[in-house]
Amino acid sequence: MQELTLTRPDDWHLHVRDGEMLKAVLPHTVRQFSRAIIMPNLKPPVRSVAEAAAYRDRIIAAIPEGKQFEPLMTLYLTDNTEPEDIVAAKASGFVKALKYYPAGATTNSDSGVTDIGKCDRVFEAMQQVDMPLLLHGEVTDKAVDVFEREKVFIEQHLVPLKQRFPKLRIVLEHITTAHAVDFVMATDNMAATITPQHLLFNRNALFKGGIRPHYYCLPILKHEIHRRAILQAATSGSPKFFLGTDSAPHTRDSKESACGCAGCFSALHAMELYAEAFEGVDALDKLEGFASFYGPDFYGLPRNREQITLVKKNWRIPDELSLTESGLVPLRAGEEMTWQMV
Protein backbone atom coordinates (compact mmCIF):
# COMPACT_ATOMS: atom_id res chain seq x y z
CA MET A 1 0.00 0.00 0.00
CA GLN A 2 1.42 3.38 -1.05
CA GLU A 3 -1.40 5.67 0.05
CA LEU A 4 -3.87 5.57 2.95
CA THR A 5 -6.91 7.85 3.22
CA LEU A 6 -8.75 8.02 6.54
CA THR A 7 -11.57 9.97 8.14
CA ARG A 8 -9.86 12.82 9.99
CA PRO A 9 -8.99 11.43 13.43
CA ASP A 10 -9.27 12.88 16.94
CA ASP A 11 -6.80 12.72 19.82
CA TRP A 12 -8.50 11.57 23.02
CA HIS A 13 -5.58 12.39 25.35
CA LEU A 14 -3.45 15.47 24.72
CA HIS A 15 -1.26 17.94 26.60
CA VAL A 16 -0.82 21.36 24.99
CA ARG A 17 0.41 23.26 28.09
CA ASP A 18 -0.09 27.03 28.05
CA GLY A 19 1.55 30.29 27.01
CA GLU A 20 4.40 30.09 24.50
CA MET A 21 4.50 26.29 24.61
CA LEU A 22 0.81 26.13 23.67
CA LYS A 23 1.43 28.37 20.67
CA ALA A 24 4.40 26.23 19.60
CA VAL A 25 2.83 22.77 19.82
CA LEU A 26 -0.86 23.23 19.00
CA PRO A 27 -0.38 23.67 15.20
CA HIS A 28 1.06 20.15 14.97
CA THR A 29 -2.10 18.67 16.49
CA VAL A 30 -4.38 20.88 14.42
CA ARG A 31 -2.69 19.67 11.23
CA GLN A 32 -3.75 16.07 11.90
CA PHE A 33 -6.69 16.04 14.29
CA SER A 34 -10.15 17.61 14.29
CA ARG A 35 -10.68 17.47 18.08
CA ALA A 36 -8.74 16.57 21.18
CA ILE A 37 -9.42 15.87 24.84
CA ILE A 38 -7.28 18.48 26.61
CA MET A 39 -5.55 17.51 29.84
CA PRO A 40 -6.12 19.86 32.81
CA ASN A 41 -2.78 19.50 34.65
CA LEU A 42 -1.62 23.08 34.38
CA LYS A 43 -0.12 25.07 37.24
CA PRO A 44 -2.56 25.74 38.85
CA PRO A 45 -4.77 22.92 37.53
CA VAL A 46 -8.07 23.45 35.70
CA ARG A 47 -10.57 22.66 38.45
CA SER A 48 -13.73 24.61 37.57
CA VAL A 49 -15.89 25.34 34.55
CA ALA A 50 -14.73 28.96 34.64
CA GLU A 51 -11.07 27.89 34.54
CA ALA A 52 -11.82 25.44 31.74
CA ALA A 53 -13.59 28.16 29.75
CA ALA A 54 -10.63 30.51 30.11
CA TYR A 55 -8.18 27.78 29.08
CA ARG A 56 -10.39 26.87 26.12
CA ASP A 57 -10.33 30.50 24.97
CA ARG A 58 -6.52 30.53 25.09
CA ILE A 59 -6.38 27.33 23.05
CA ILE A 60 -8.79 28.68 20.45
CA ALA A 61 -6.73 31.87 20.18
CA ALA A 62 -3.66 29.70 19.38
CA ILE A 63 -5.30 27.83 16.48
CA PRO A 64 -3.55 28.82 13.23
CA GLU A 65 -5.60 31.13 11.05
CA GLY A 66 -7.89 29.35 8.64
CA LYS A 67 -7.75 26.02 10.51
CA GLN A 68 -10.58 24.23 12.30
CA PHE A 69 -10.06 22.51 15.64
CA GLU A 70 -12.25 21.85 18.69
CA PRO A 71 -10.68 21.54 22.15
CA LEU A 72 -12.69 19.21 24.36
CA MET A 73 -12.09 20.28 27.93
CA THR A 74 -11.66 18.32 31.15
CA LEU A 75 -11.63 19.19 34.84
CA TYR A 76 -8.93 18.10 37.26
CA LEU A 77 -10.38 15.93 40.02
CA THR A 78 -9.20 16.80 43.52
CA ASP A 79 -10.14 15.79 47.06
CA ASN A 80 -12.26 18.96 47.15
CA THR A 81 -14.28 18.49 43.96
CA GLU A 82 -18.01 18.61 44.72
CA PRO A 83 -21.01 17.00 42.98
CA GLU A 84 -22.16 20.50 42.06
CA ASP A 85 -19.00 20.89 39.98
CA ILE A 86 -20.04 17.87 37.95
CA VAL A 87 -23.51 19.24 37.28
CA ALA A 88 -21.99 22.54 36.16
CA ALA A 89 -19.45 20.75 33.95
CA LYS A 90 -22.16 18.74 32.22
CA ALA A 91 -24.29 21.86 31.71
CA SER A 92 -21.39 23.74 30.12
CA GLY A 93 -21.43 21.57 27.02
CA PHE A 94 -17.70 21.96 26.46
CA VAL A 95 -16.38 20.04 29.48
CA LYS A 96 -16.47 16.42 28.38
CA ALA A 97 -14.85 14.51 31.25
CA LEU A 98 -13.08 14.60 34.61
CA LYS A 99 -9.45 13.56 34.95
CA TYR A 100 -8.18 11.54 37.90
CA TYR A 101 -4.51 11.78 38.82
CA PRO A 102 -3.23 10.00 41.91
CA ALA A 103 -1.42 12.69 43.87
CA GLY A 104 2.23 12.73 42.85
CA ALA A 105 1.89 10.14 40.08
CA THR A 106 3.13 12.22 37.13
CA THR A 107 3.71 15.74 35.78
CA ASN A 108 1.79 18.42 37.69
CA SER A 109 -0.19 15.86 39.71
CA ASP A 110 0.56 17.25 43.16
CA SER A 111 -3.04 18.48 43.45
CA GLY A 112 -4.41 15.06 42.56
CA VAL A 113 -6.56 12.72 44.62
CA THR A 114 -4.96 11.39 47.80
CA ASP A 115 -7.59 8.67 48.36
CA ILE A 116 -9.94 7.59 45.59
CA GLY A 117 -12.47 6.57 48.22
CA LYS A 118 -12.97 10.24 49.09
CA CYS A 119 -14.52 10.86 45.67
CA ASP A 120 -17.54 8.56 45.80
CA ARG A 121 -20.03 11.46 45.98
CA VAL A 122 -18.45 12.90 42.86
CA PHE A 123 -18.48 9.53 41.06
CA GLU A 124 -22.16 9.11 41.90
CA ALA A 125 -22.89 12.51 40.36
CA MET A 126 -20.83 11.62 37.29
CA GLN A 127 -22.72 8.37 36.89
CA GLN A 128 -26.04 10.21 37.14
CA VAL A 129 -25.23 12.84 34.49
CA ASP A 130 -23.16 10.44 32.34
CA MET A 131 -19.84 12.30 32.61
CA PRO A 132 -16.86 10.06 31.76
CA LEU A 133 -13.99 9.57 34.20
CA LEU A 134 -10.48 9.52 32.72
CA LEU A 135 -7.99 7.60 34.85
CA HIS A 136 -4.25 7.83 35.16
CA GLY A 137 -4.25 4.27 36.39
CA GLU A 138 -1.20 3.91 38.63
CA VAL A 139 -0.63 3.64 42.36
CA THR A 140 1.99 5.83 44.00
CA ASP A 141 2.89 3.50 46.86
CA LYS A 142 6.70 3.51 47.10
CA ALA A 143 6.63 -0.18 47.98
CA VAL A 144 5.19 -1.03 44.54
CA ASP A 145 7.64 -1.54 41.68
CA VAL A 146 7.27 1.13 38.98
CA PHE A 147 6.58 -1.57 36.36
CA GLU A 148 3.73 -2.97 38.49
CA ARG A 149 1.89 0.25 39.31
CA GLU A 150 -0.79 -0.13 36.64
CA LYS A 151 -1.53 -3.74 37.52
CA VAL A 152 -1.80 -2.93 41.24
CA PHE A 153 -4.04 0.08 40.55
CA ILE A 154 -6.45 -2.12 38.63
CA GLU A 155 -6.53 -4.73 41.39
CA GLN A 156 -6.72 -2.39 44.39
CA HIS A 157 -8.72 0.56 43.06
CA LEU A 158 -10.34 0.06 39.67
CA VAL A 159 -12.03 -3.27 40.39
CA PRO A 160 -13.72 -1.91 43.55
CA LEU A 161 -14.58 1.36 41.78
CA LYS A 162 -16.45 -0.46 39.01
CA GLN A 163 -18.21 -2.61 41.59
CA ARG A 164 -19.47 0.52 43.36
CA PHE A 165 -20.34 2.41 40.16
CA PRO A 166 -21.03 -0.11 37.38
CA LYS A 167 -22.68 2.46 35.08
CA LEU A 168 -19.87 5.02 35.37
CA ARG A 169 -18.16 5.32 32.00
CA ILE A 170 -14.40 5.12 32.45
CA VAL A 171 -11.44 5.53 30.14
CA LEU A 172 -8.29 3.88 31.43
CA GLU A 173 -5.78 6.12 29.73
CA HIS A 174 -2.46 5.26 28.08
CA ILE A 175 -2.69 1.57 28.98
CA THR A 176 0.60 -0.32 29.08
CA THR A 177 -0.07 -3.88 30.24
CA ALA A 178 -1.83 -7.09 29.28
CA HIS A 179 -3.66 -6.78 32.63
CA ALA A 180 -5.24 -3.52 31.48
CA VAL A 181 -6.25 -5.00 28.14
CA ASP A 182 -7.92 -7.95 29.84
CA PHE A 183 -9.77 -5.77 32.36
CA VAL A 184 -11.08 -3.35 29.74
CA MET A 185 -12.25 -6.18 27.51
CA ALA A 186 -14.09 -7.90 30.37
CA THR A 187 -15.75 -4.82 31.92
CA ASP A 188 -18.85 -2.90 30.85
CA ASN A 189 -18.68 0.86 30.34
CA MET A 190 -14.89 0.71 30.05
CA ALA A 191 -12.61 1.95 27.28
CA ALA A 192 -8.91 2.69 26.94
CA THR A 193 -6.62 5.01 25.04
CA ILE A 194 -3.30 3.84 23.61
CA THR A 195 -0.24 5.94 22.80
CA PRO A 196 2.16 5.50 19.87
CA GLN A 197 5.15 4.93 22.17
CA HIS A 198 3.46 2.06 23.99
CA LEU A 199 2.57 0.44 20.66
CA LEU A 200 6.06 0.76 19.18
CA PHE A 201 8.51 0.38 22.07
CA ASN A 202 9.20 -1.76 25.09
CA ARG A 203 11.29 -0.77 28.09
CA ASN A 204 14.56 -1.60 26.31
CA ALA A 205 14.13 1.66 24.38
CA LEU A 206 14.86 3.57 27.60
CA PHE A 207 18.39 2.16 27.77
CA LYS A 208 19.50 1.70 24.15
CA GLY A 209 23.11 2.91 24.16
CA GLY A 210 22.59 4.75 27.45
CA ILE A 211 19.77 6.58 29.22
CA ARG A 212 17.22 7.81 26.64
CA PRO A 213 15.18 10.49 28.46
CA HIS A 214 12.94 11.28 25.49
CA TYR A 215 11.48 7.77 25.72
CA TYR A 216 10.67 8.25 29.40
CA CYS A 217 6.96 8.62 30.08
CA LEU A 218 4.49 7.60 32.75
CA PRO A 219 3.17 4.99 32.81
CA ILE A 220 6.65 3.77 31.92
CA LEU A 221 7.31 1.53 28.91
CA LYS A 222 6.85 -2.12 29.82
CA HIS A 223 8.04 -5.63 28.89
CA GLU A 224 7.68 -6.82 25.29
CA ILE A 225 4.88 -9.17 26.36
CA HIS A 226 2.78 -6.17 27.35
CA ARG A 227 3.64 -4.17 24.23
CA ARG A 228 2.40 -7.03 22.09
CA ALA A 229 -0.81 -7.29 24.13
CA ILE A 230 -1.74 -3.64 23.67
CA LEU A 231 -0.75 -3.72 19.99
CA GLN A 232 -3.09 -6.67 19.55
CA ALA A 233 -5.84 -4.74 21.35
CA ALA A 234 -5.35 -1.62 19.23
CA THR A 235 -5.47 -3.58 15.98
CA SER A 236 -8.27 -5.93 17.02
CA GLY A 237 -11.13 -3.78 15.78
CA SER A 238 -12.63 -3.61 19.27
CA PRO A 239 -14.36 -0.25 19.86
CA LYS A 240 -13.09 -0.30 23.45
CA PHE A 241 -9.63 0.90 22.32
CA PHE A 242 -8.95 4.19 20.61
CA LEU A 243 -6.27 6.75 19.88
CA GLY A 244 -4.87 8.97 22.61
CA THR A 245 -1.35 10.22 22.00
CA ASP A 246 -0.63 11.56 25.49
CA SER A 247 1.74 13.87 23.60
CA ALA A 248 3.45 15.72 26.43
CA PRO A 249 5.84 18.51 25.44
CA HIS A 250 8.79 19.33 27.68
CA THR A 251 11.78 21.44 26.73
CA ARG A 252 15.07 19.67 26.13
CA ASP A 253 16.61 21.04 29.31
CA SER A 254 13.72 19.75 31.43
CA LYS A 255 14.03 16.26 29.92
CA GLU A 256 17.84 16.03 29.88
CA SER A 257 18.40 16.86 33.52
CA ALA A 258 19.24 15.18 36.83
CA CYS A 259 15.51 14.65 37.40
CA GLY A 260 13.97 14.66 33.93
CA CYS A 261 10.26 15.13 33.27
CA ALA A 262 8.06 12.26 32.13
CA GLY A 263 6.44 12.56 28.72
CA CYS A 264 6.96 11.89 25.01
CA PHE A 265 6.23 14.57 22.41
CA SER A 266 4.50 12.93 19.45
CA ALA A 267 2.10 15.62 18.20
CA LEU A 268 4.47 16.39 15.33
CA HIS A 269 4.08 12.97 13.68
CA ALA A 270 1.44 11.03 15.61
CA MET A 271 -0.48 9.58 12.69
CA GLU A 272 2.72 8.50 10.96
CA LEU A 273 3.77 6.64 14.12
CA TYR A 274 0.41 4.90 14.45
CA ALA A 275 0.48 3.93 10.77
CA GLU A 276 3.91 2.36 11.25
CA ALA A 277 2.68 0.37 14.25
CA PHE A 278 -0.42 -0.90 12.47
CA GLU A 279 1.47 -1.71 9.27
CA GLY A 280 3.96 -3.75 11.29
CA VAL A 281 1.25 -6.30 12.06
CA ASP A 282 -0.52 -6.01 8.69
CA ALA A 283 -3.48 -4.16 10.22
CA LEU A 284 -3.69 -0.86 8.33
CA ASP A 285 -7.32 -1.67 7.59
CA LYS A 286 -8.03 -1.35 11.33
CA LEU A 287 -6.39 2.08 11.74
CA GLU A 288 -9.41 4.19 10.74
CA GLY A 289 -11.69 2.66 13.35
CA PHE A 290 -9.08 3.06 16.09
CA ALA A 291 -8.14 6.63 15.09
CA SER A 292 -11.38 8.08 13.77
CA PHE A 293 -14.49 6.17 14.88
CA TYR A 294 -14.32 4.53 18.30
CA GLY A 295 -13.40 7.67 20.28
CA PRO A 296 -16.30 9.84 19.12
CA ASP A 297 -18.64 6.88 19.46
CA PHE A 298 -17.65 6.46 23.13
CA TYR A 299 -18.09 10.18 23.85
CA GLY A 300 -21.39 10.38 21.96
CA LEU A 301 -20.04 12.82 19.38
CA PRO A 302 -20.47 12.74 15.60
CA ARG A 303 -17.71 11.21 13.52
CA ASN A 304 -15.72 13.68 11.46
CA ARG A 305 -16.51 14.12 7.77
CA GLU A 306 -13.18 15.39 6.48
CA GLN A 307 -10.34 13.09 5.47
CA ILE A 308 -6.55 12.95 5.73
CA THR A 309 -4.09 11.12 3.52
CA LEU A 310 -0.86 9.36 4.42
CA VAL A 311 1.59 8.36 1.71
CA LYS A 312 4.55 6.02 1.65
CA LYS A 313 7.56 8.33 1.80
CA ASN A 314 10.85 8.20 3.65
CA TRP A 315 11.54 11.31 5.71
CA ARG A 316 13.61 12.18 8.74
CA ILE A 317 12.15 13.30 12.06
CA PRO A 318 13.80 16.59 13.11
CA ASP A 319 16.37 16.45 15.89
CA GLU A 320 14.67 19.34 17.62
CA LEU A 321 11.93 21.93 17.23
CA SER A 322 12.98 25.45 18.11
CA LEU A 323 11.29 27.20 21.00
CA THR A 324 12.04 30.49 22.69
CA GLU A 325 13.49 28.98 25.87
CA SER A 326 14.90 25.58 24.91
CA GLY A 327 14.45 23.08 22.11
CA LEU A 328 11.66 20.50 22.04
CA VAL A 329 12.78 16.98 21.07
CA PRO A 330 10.16 14.81 19.32
CA LEU A 331 9.79 11.10 19.88
CA ARG A 332 12.36 9.18 17.77
CA ALA A 333 14.18 12.40 16.88
CA GLY A 334 16.61 12.01 13.99
CA GLU A 335 15.20 8.67 12.84
CA GLU A 336 13.57 7.75 9.53
CA MET A 337 9.83 7.38 9.03
CA THR A 338 8.17 5.51 6.19
CA TRP A 339 4.74 7.20 6.23
CA GLN A 340 4.03 10.90 5.87
CA MET A 341 0.81 12.86 6.09
CA VAL A 342 0.27 15.12 3.09
Side-chain half-sphere exposure of 41, counting CA atoms within 13 A: 26
Helix then strand then coil, % of the chain, to nearest 5: 40, 20, 45
Averaged pLDDT, 285-298: 98
Tell me what percent of the residues of the chain surpass a pLDDT of 70.
99
286-301 residues labelled b (16+ CB within 10 A) or e (exposed): bbbbbbbbbbbebbee
Consecutive H or E run containing 19: helix 19-32
- Please report the pLDDT score of residue 103 as a whole number: 85
DSSP state of 306: -
**Ranges assigned E (strand) in the chain:** 3-7, 11-14, 35-38, 70-76, 95-100, 133-135, 170-172, 190-194, 241-243, 307-316, 336-341
Domains with residue ranges and CATH for the chain: 9-306 (3.20.20.140)
Active site residues: 246
- Please report the pLDDT score of residue 324 as a whole number: 65
The pLDDT tens digits of the residues spanning 13-66 come to 999 999 999 999 999 999 999 999 999 999 999 999 999 999 999 999 999 999
**pLDDT band at 2; cut points 50, 70, 90:** very high
**pLDDT band at 104; cut points 50, 70, 90:** confident
Q: How far apart are the first and last CA of the chain?
A: 15
The pLDDT tens digits of the residues spanning 146-161 come to 999 999 999 999 999 9
Q: How many helices (H) and strands (E) does the chain have?
A: 13, 11
